[in-house]
Amino acid sequence: MALRKLKSESEIALRHFIVLKTVMKNQPIGIFKLSELLNMPKHKVRYSLRVLEHSGLIEPSQYGAVIPEGAEEKIKKMKEDLAKIKKLISDIEELAKEL
């Protein structure tokens, strides 16, 4: 069903947020340490880091991932987008009740 893809993408987005939060708390931090801290496979950590880097939320350094200047604005935008998504999910829930 159409919600399967949404569920899968939501799980991946959650992982990205977990990785981002961990980088913020432990920067600079590398893949191996992140994988260990999060008890997550390295390939999943690597993918999340790549997505976060392409989004401008982290950047690599010789010591590991760090949060660059200007990331706060991008994080604020993500929070705004998340609020909009929550509203859409709420609307879907209300419609589903009527089925």
CA 85 – CA 79 distance, rounded (Å): 10
- At residue 77, the pLDDT reads 94
pTM, entire model: 0.89
Neighbours of 39 (CB within 10 A): 6
Q: Where are the domains of the chain?
A: 2-69
- At residue 3, the pLDDT reads 86
- At residue 1, the pLDDT reads 67
**Closest Cα to residue 68, out of 50, 56, 78, 55?**
56
The low-confidence residues of the chain, meaning pLDDT below 50, are: none
Fold of 2-69: Arc Repressor Mutant, subunit A (1.10.10)
Quick: pLDDT tens for 7-21: 999 999 999 999 999
- At residue 85, the pLDDT reads 94
